[in-house]
Amino acid sequence: MSTELAWFKSSYSGDEGGNCLEVVACKDTVRVRDSKDPEGPHLAIRPATWAEFTRFTGLIGAHRVIR
């Protein structure tokens, strides 16, 4: 039996579509895909790796200059 995954986009994503990542947390992985190609391939990442990635990108964002 197949269940549909509940993919979501960041609240920072706009409503204009495109250029977004969609994410879903599964039992042993975090899956990531391109919102422009929802039927295409996705990445399966260990939760610890995803946590480190989001921590790192948060650090980058904290130092970004907004113009």
Q: For 6-33, what is each residue's pLDDT tens digit?
A: 998 877 776 766 678 899 999 899 999 9
Residue range 41-62: mean pLDDT, rounded: 88
Task: Give the Cα separation of 28 and 53 in Å (integer).
Answer: 16
Position 64 confidence tier, pLDDT thresholds 50, 70, 90: low
Q: In this structure, what token pair is assigned to residue 59?
A: 């650090």
Indicate whether this model's pTM tops 0.85: no
Per DSSP bridges, beta strands 43-45 and 30-34 are antiparallel
- Sorted by where each begins, the domain ranges of the chain are 8-62
Q: What percent of the chain has pLDDT over 90?
A: 40
SS (H, E, C) the chain: CCCCCCCEECCCCCCCCCCCEEEEECCCCEEEEECCCCCCCCEEECHHHHHHHHHHHHHHHHCCCCC
